[in-house]
Structures are given as C-alpha cells and as structure tokens.
C-alpha cells in the first residue's frame, strides 16, 4: 500500500471527516442530490472538487482520458462514461453539465504521436477526439486550439443523447464548456454566442 496514501487516509479521518461528519451523515440519510455533472479528464493535475471548492455531494464526477464523450447509439458493451451521463441525467436530474478540458492534455498530445500496438484501447478511444485536430502540425499553439475544439466537440456529442437534448430544450439542463489553464490556475468558459473561451473567474 502506498504510504503517502495511507497517511492521507489518516489525516482525513483525523482532520477532515470530523469537520464534515454531519454533512456526510445528511448525505447518507437524504441521498445525494448533486446539481452538476462534471465531465473531466483523468489527468492527475485536474481535481474537480479542489478546482471548484465543491463540498461532498455537490458534483457528480465522470472522468476519463481526454474528457471525451462517445456519441449516443446502440449499446455495444460496457462504457462507464455513457452510463455516468445517463445516471446523472435520468436518476439525479442534474441541472448543469460541465465538460472540462485543460491545457497540456496528454490525450490531445497523443493524437499527434503514434501510440503503437501496445495501446489498442487508448488508440481507439482517442478517435473520439480526432475531429478536433484540424491541423496535423504538433505545435504548442495547435495543441491548445485542439484542446479547446475538443471541448466543443464533446458538447455537441452530448446533444446526441435524447435525454440530454430533451432536458436542454425544456430548459431543465444547461451545458457548459470549460477550459482549465493549469499553469495560470484559471478556468475559461465557452461563450456560445462568439464561440470563444472567456475567463470565468
């Protein structure tokens, strides 16, 4: 067992849990009622609760490599992202869905780097981001543009889910595109009118 994680568990039990004991007990008694589905990247530098100062129970978090959304379609097997989207919209009836990408994303960089035969599942998964890679040149500027374009692409894919589209059209759910600039600690939000990402904070 990684000692650093064990020490973290001990600190949680000793320091954090006592402060939120009643909050956790209420969440158990009343059940979870998060208002937001946070679709984020599995990158270890992206920590949704820390980023948003959220309390336990505020966010329903689904993370994967590249914060990608498969298009809705016939069930072809096990998919945690699709199941998470359906659970958040149908069971939890979230009011907001945030797709949060970020700068220096390894998944986006991998689009421009041959992966080889050792990572067939990753290569197949990253096909979901390929339409965002308009320019094949791997420059830092193009990587940043592709990261942002991918967020827009995933928002479009969310609208292929009938339950999401129905809730959006009824005004019950709003979709949001966020771009987290890791090195600046700033989140940019997609302005749908201009198509540009603007500072939120």
Q: How many other β-carbons are positioned within 10 Å of the β-carbon of residue 72? A: 17
Do 26 and 52 belong to one domain?
no
The pLDDT score that the predictor gives to residue 154 is: 98
Of 1-5, 121-125, 144-148, 151-155, which gets the smallest average pLDDT? 1-5
Q: What's the total number of domains in the chain?
A: 2
The pLDDT score that the predictor gives to residue 69 is: 97
Query: CA–CA separation, 52 vs 39, rounded Å?
Result: 13
- Domain CATH number, residue 66: 3.40.1050.10
Do 82 and 147 belong to one domain?
yes
Do 49 and 98 belong to one domain?
yes
Q: Are 82 and 160 in contact (CB under 8 A)?
A: no
Over residues 28-83, the pLDDT tens digits come to 999 999 999 999 999 999 999 999 999 999 999 999 999 999 999 887 778 999 99
The pLDDT score that the predictor gives to residue 138 is: 84
The pLDDT score that the predictor gives to residue 159 is: 97
Residue 79: CB partners within 8 Å, gap ≥ 6? 70
Q: What is the dihedral of CA 124, 176, 59, 184, to 10 degrees?
A: 90
Do 59 and 122 belong to one domain?
yes
Average pLDDT, the chain: 94
Over residues 1-36, the pLDDT tens digits come to 789 999 999 999 999 899 989 999 999 999 999 999
Do 109 and 193 belong to one domain?
yes
Do 41 and 66 belong to one domain?
yes
Do 1 and 42 belong to one domain?
no
Q: Which domain holds residue 21?
A: 1-31
Do 47 and 141 belong to one domain?
yes
The pLDDT score that the predictor gives to residue 135 is: 82
The pLDDT score that the predictor gives to residue 25 is: 93
Do 101 and 46 belong to one domain?
yes
As beta bridge partners, residue 62 has 39
Do 45 and 1 belong to one domain?
no
Per-residue confidence band for 111, with pLDDT thresholds at 50, 70 and 90:
very high
Do 119 and 144 belong to one domain?
yes
Q: Could you tell me the sign of the dihedral formed by the alpha carbons of 140, 38, 41, 186, in that order?
A: positive
Do 92 and 12 belong to one domain?
no
Over residues 83-105, the pLDDT tens digits come to 999 999 999 999 999 999 999 99
């Amino acid at each position: 067992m990684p000692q650093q994680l064990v020490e973290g568990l001990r600190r949680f039990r000793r320091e954090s849990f006592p402060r939120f004991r009643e909050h956790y007990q209420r969440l158990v008694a009343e059940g979870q009622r998060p208002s937001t589905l946070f679709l984020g990247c599995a990158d270890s530098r992206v920590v949704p609760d820390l980023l948003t100062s959220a309390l336990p129970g505020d966010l329903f978090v689904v993370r994967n490599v590249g914060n990608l959304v498969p298009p809705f379609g016939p069930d072809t097997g096990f998919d945690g992202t699709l199941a998470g989207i359906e659970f958040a919209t149908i069971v939890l009836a979230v009011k907001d869905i945030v797709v949060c990408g970020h700068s220096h994303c390894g998944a986006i960089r991998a689009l421009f780097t041959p992966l080889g035969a050792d990572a067939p599942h990753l290569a197949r998964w990253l096909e979901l981001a390929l339409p965002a890679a308009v320019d094949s040149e791997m420059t830092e500027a193009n990587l940043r543009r592709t990261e942002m374009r991918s967020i827009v692409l995933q928002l479009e894919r969310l609208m292929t889910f009938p339950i999401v589209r129905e809730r959006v059209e009824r005004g019950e759910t709003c979709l949001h595109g966020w771009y987290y600039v890791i090195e600046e600690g700033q989140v940019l939000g997609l302005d749908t009118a201009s198509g540009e990402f603007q500072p939120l904070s």
